[in-house]
Amino acid sequence: MSNLSPTAKIILAFLRFRPRSGYDIKQSVEISTQFFWGASFGQIYPELRRLEQAGLLEVESEGRRGRKVYRLTTAGERELDDWLRGDSGLFQYRDEGLLRLFFSDLIDPETALENVRRMREWREQAVAFFRSQLEPHAQEDADLGARFPLRALEFGTAWLEAQAAWLAELEAELEP
Amino acid sequence: MSNLSPTAKIILAFLRFRPRSGYDIKQSVEISTQFFWGASFGQIYPELRRLEQAGLLEVESEGRRGRKVYRLTTAGERELDDWLRGDSGLFQYRDEGLLRLFFSDLIDPETALENVRRMREWREQAVAFFRSQLEPHAQEDADLGARFPLRALEFGTAWLEAQAAWLAELEAELEP
DNA sequence: GGAGGCATGTAACCGGTTACATGATTTA
DNA sequence: TAAATCATGTAACCGGTTACATGCCTCC
């Protein structure tokens, strides 16, 4: 039964929409899921070979510059479907700013405030990046009938804004 | 200059409040930072030895059952302070439910809705866990004068609640 | 005396980033 | 023709979890 690696999941899913090369997959990740599900070349290329070996992918065509375009096999589609219908829910969150906040009783109030300010600014910048860089692509998908990428993006902006708002309140509280 | 490993940061910081054994540190992590900064025995014990070797820690006492209680040295305090005043801000977020949401155009609406429902429920359970299991300890810290652990916890509950609320809205939109 | 919690520690493995290596093709 | 971009791939290393091994101490 489907025991796909994290990178395999995103590879199969992106290929389901249309055939892609490893390079294409990396780009797709970067303009969409990077924030909550990344994938580097060091993961993608070996994984593509493994998935091909396992019969879940096949090479559709080999183009110039060594470009290899992969597509799903029937077995690959089945595996993807199993995962999409599954209930595995890996959730990881690591936040160094928050760790510093947690220990801010150990430092002077000004430094603590500075940290909170940086946390808020980082979130505001992320939201701005989402809107300017990611939203156009998500909107394009939506126009083509795939609405969930835009929803996922809205989820991301909504909670980062919620974090930013909370941090702004804390700033006000901490200000001298 | 301070180039502490992720686990070193949390070890030094917890030791700053009071000396602890590796076992103690693990417990402290579990009732407080686990959600955004975990540490397993497999990380803690080797790291304690490395930090001792590097002169940032020293063994305060060896008790029964092989218990070794560590405390910070002056050098350790300095390193901790450097980190607390620094601006490094590692931020990692991985969310398999969100990935499935992103690709939900590939599945039937009922399955997609089921996934959203699970995402919301998971967050509600996490918030309930925070309130019942973590808040008492954070409140205790606050009573002893350390207010930031409670603030960090409130930050966590606030944004998980924001996510849950957003997901509830999406559920309403997706319901047939 | 047995169960359960205390306590340290190691080994195997996994997943990830980064840097490096290589070279083809396009564009200025 | 030089620079930028396309494109694949490997190696080194890091950080993390999990499972395992060991044994003491306390309490019932």
The C-alpha torsion from A81 through A84 and A90 to A92, rounded to 10°, is: 120
> What is chain B's percent helix, strand, coil content, to nearest 5?
70, 10, 20
User: Does A136 lie in the same domain as A71?
Assistant: no
Model confidence pLDDT, tens digit, residues B120-165: 999 999 999 999 999 999 999 999 999 999 999 999 999 999 999 9
Output the pLDDT for position B1: 57
Taking the C1' atom of every nucleotide in all shown strands and the CA of A63, the nearest one is: D7
Beta partners for residue B111, in sequence order:
none
A94 touches strand C (CB under 7 A): no
Residue environment code for B122-157, b if the CB has 16+ CB neighbours within 10 A, otherwise e: bbbebbeebeeebbebbeebbeeebebbbbbbebbb
d(CA B97, CA B108): 16
Distance A65 CA to C26 C1' (A): 11
Place of tokens 């409040």: B17
Judge whether residue A67 contacts strand D, using its CB and a 7 Å cut-off. Answer: yes
> Quick check: is B64 in a domain?
yes
Asked if residue A63 and residue A133 are part of one domain, the reply reads no
Q: What is the DSSP letter of B20?
A: B
Contact with chain A for residue B108, Cβ under 8 A:
no
| pTM, rounded to two decimals | 0.95
Q: What is the pLDDT along chain A (176 residues), one digit of tens a residue?
A: 568 999 999 999 999 999 999 999 999 999 999 999 999 999 999 999 999 999 999 999 998 888 999 999 999 999 999 999 999 999 999 999 999 999 999 999 999 999 999 999 999 999 999 999 999 999 999 999 999 999 999 999 999 999 999 999 999 999 98
Residues B43 and B113 in one domain: no
Q: Are strands A91-95 and B91-95 parallel, antiparallel or unpaired?
A: antiparallel
- In angstroms, the CA B39 to CA A109 distance is 27
Question: Which one, of A127, A94, A16, A38, lies nearest residue B99 by Cα?
Answer: A38
| pLDDT (0 to 100) of residue B76 | 97
Looking at the domain assignment, is residue B160 inside a domain? yes
Last residue of a domain, one of A85, A116, A145: A85
Answer whether A148 sits within 8 Å of B118, measured CB to CB: no
- Residue A90 counted as domain residue: no
Looking at the DSSP assignment, which residues form a beta bridge with residue A57? Answer: A72
Burial tier of B24 (Cβ tally within 10 Å: 0-12, 13-18, 19+): middle
Q: Is B1 among the domain residues?
A: no
pLDDT value at residue A1? 57
Supply B93's token pair: 């977020």
A17/A50 same-domain check: yes
- Alpha-carbon torsion (A164, B153, B90, B79), positive or negative: positive
Asked if residue B122 and residue B163 are part of one domain, the reply reads yes
Look at residues A54, A85, A116 and tell me which one is the last residue of a structural domain: A85
Structural domain that includes position A161? 96-174
- Give the one of B94, B105, B166 whose C-beta lies nearest to A90's C-beta: B94
pLDDT at residue B176 in the model: 80
- CATH of residue B74's domain is 1.10.10.10
B153 and B115 in a common domain: yes
Residue B144 distance to chain A (closest CA, Å):
11
Å between CA of B7 and C1' of D15 = 9
- Give, in order, the Cα–Cα distances in Å from B125 to each of A31, A81, B119, B122: 31, 27, 10, 5
B78 touches chain A (CB under 8 A): no
Any B CB within 8 A of A32 CB? yes
Question: Between chains, do B122 and A91 touch, taking CB under 8 Å as contact?
Answer: yes
CA B55 to CA B64: how far, in whole Å? 24
Q: CA of A71, closest CA in chain B: separation in Å?
A: 16
Per-residue pLDDT for B2 more than 90?
no
Adjacent-strand bridge partners of B27: none
- Domain count of chain A? 2
Mutate to test the interface with B, among A7, A32, A105 (most CBs of B within 10 A): A105
Residues A54 and A24 in one domain: yes
Give yes or no: residues B43 and B108 share one domain.
Answer: no
In angstroms, the CA B13 to CA A98 distance is 13
* pLDDT for B58 beyond 90: yes
CA-based nearest residue in chain B for residue A13: B103
Same domain, A108 and A79: no
Chain A hits for B113, Cβ within 8 Å: none
Residue A1, domain member (yes or no): no
Residue of B nearest to A117 (CA): B87
| Residues B120 and B64 grouped into a single domain | no
Instruction: Report d(CA B96, CA B113) in Å as an integer.
Output: 15
How far, CA to CA in Å, does A166 sit from each of A113, A116, A138, B110, B126? Answer: 13, 10, 27, 34, 19
Kindly determine whether the C-beta of residue A46 is less than 7 Å away from any atom of nucleic acid strand D: yes
